[in-house]
Chain A
Amino acid sequence: MHPILKLLVQRIALGLLLLLAVSAVIFLGVEALPGDTAQAILGQQATPEALANLRERMGLNEPPLTRYFQWLGGILTGDLGTALSNGADIAQSIGQRLGNTLFLAGCAAAISVPLAILLGLIAARHAGKWPDKVISGITLTTISLPEFVAAYFVIFIFTQLIPIFQPVAMVFPGMSFWAKLNAIALPVIVLVLVVLAHMMRMTRAAILNVMQSAYIETAELKGLSPMTVIWKHALPNAIAPVVSVVMLNMAYLVVGVVVVEVVFGYNALGQYLVDHVTKRDLPVVQAVGLIFAAVYIFLNMLADIIGILANPRLRHPK
Chain B
Amino acid sequence: MNDKHNQLDWMVAQARQGRMTRREFVGRTTALGVSAGLASALFGKAVQAQEARKGGVIRVGMQGGESTNSLDPALAASEVPFQVNMTWGEMLCDVNPDGTIDPRIAEEISSSPDATEWKFKIRAGVEYHGGGTVTAEDVVATLRRHTDEKSQSGALGIVQGISDMKAEGDMVTLKLNAANADLPFLMADYHLIIQPGGGVDNPAAGIGAGPYSVVVNEPGVRHTFKKHANYFDTTIGHADEVEILVINDNTARTAALKSGQVHMINRVDPKIVELLKGVSGVQVRAVAGRGHYVFIMHCDTAPFDNNDLRMALKYAVNRGELVEKILGGLGKPGNDFPINAAYPLFQDTFEQREYDAAKAAEFYAKSGHDGSPIVLATAAGAFPGAVDAANLFAASANAAGIPLQVKLEPDDGYWSNVWNVAPFCASYWGGRPVQDQMYSTAYLSTAEWNDTRFNNARFDELLLAARGELDTAKRSDMYTEMAQILRDEGGLILPMFNDFVSGVSDSIGGWVDDPNGELMNGRAHVRCWLNA
The smallest beta-carbon distance between B413 and chain A, in angstroms, is 9
Q: Do B252 and A155 touch (CB < 8 A)?
A: yes
- What 1/0 flags go to B51-90 for Cβ under 8 Å of A? 0000000000100001111101001000000000000000
- On chain A, the residues within 8 Å of B67 by CB distance are 93, 271-272, 275-276
Q: Do B218 and A172 touch (CB < 8 A)?
A: yes
One of A83, A156, A167, A170 near B221 (C-beta < 8 A) = A170
Asked if B201 CB lies within 8 Å of chain A CBs, one says no
- On chain A, the residues within 8 Å of B216 by CB distance are 172
Asked if B249 CB lies within 8 Å of chain A CBs, one says yes
- Partner-contacting stretch, out of A109-117, A261-269, A293-301: A261-269
Q: Do B258 and A160 touch (CB < 8 A)?
A: yes
Q: Do B219 and A88 touch (CB < 8 A)?
A: yes
Question: Complex formed: what's the CA distance from A276 to B245 in Å?
Answer: 19
Q: Which of the listed residues B67, B221, B222, B255 has the most CB atoms from chain A within 10 Å of its own CB?
A: B67
Q: Do A166 and B256 touch (CB < 8 A)?
A: yes
* Chain B residue nearest in CB terms to A97: B67
Asked if A45 CB lies within 8 Å of chain B CBs, one says yes
* Chain B residue nearest in CB terms to A262: B249
Asked if A103 CB lies within 8 Å of chain B CBs, one says no
- What 1/0 flags go to A154-179 for Cβ under 8 Å of B? 01100110010011101010000000
Asked if B149 CB lies within 8 Å of chain A CBs, one says yes
Asked if B490 CB lies within 8 Å of chain A CBs, one says no
Question: Complex formed: what's the CA distance from A271 to B152 in Å?
Answer: 26
One of A86, A88, A172, A276 near B222 (C-beta < 8 A) = A172
Asked if A77 CB lies within 8 Å of chain B CBs, one says no
Asked if B259 CB lies within 8 Å of chain A CBs, one says yes
Q: Which of A105-160 contact B (CB under 8 A)?
A: 152, 155-156, 159-160
Asked if A85 CB lies within 8 Å of chain B CBs, one says yes
* Chain A residue nearest in CB terms to B257: A167
The smallest beta-carbon distance between A278 and chain B, in angstroms, is 7
Whether A166 touches B219, Cβ cut-off 8 Å, given contacts A87-B70, A263-B251, is no
Question: Complex formed: what's the CA distance from A262 to B150 in Å?
Answer: 33
How many residues on A have C-beta within 8 angstroms of the other chain's C-beta atoms? 31
The smallest beta-carbon distance between B348 and chain A, in angstroms, is 38
Q: Do B149 and A160 touch (CB < 8 A)?
A: no
Whether A168 touches B261, Cβ cut-off 8 Å, given contacts A265-B247, A265-B249, is yes
Whether A170 touches B222, Cβ cut-off 8 Å, given contacts A86-B69, A263-B251, is yes
Asked if A304 CB lies within 8 Å of chain B CBs, one says no
Q: Which of B248-283 contact A (CB under 8 A)?
A: 248-249, 251-252, 255-256, 258-259, 261-262
Q: Do A265 and B70 touch (CB < 8 A)?
A: no
- On chain B, the residues within 8 Å of A88 by CB distance are 219
- On chain B, the residues within 8 Å of A167 by CB distance are 252, 255-256, 259, 261
Query: Would you list 6 pairs from A and B whose C-beta atoms are within 8 A, ordered by A residue?
Result: A43-B152, A88-B219, A160-B259, A166-B256, A167-B259, A272-B67
Q: A155-B252, A166-B261, A275-B220 are in contact. List 9 more A-B contacts (CB 8 A).
A: A86-B219, A87-B204, A168-B261, A172-B216, A172-B221, A172-B222, A263-B252, A265-B245, A275-B66
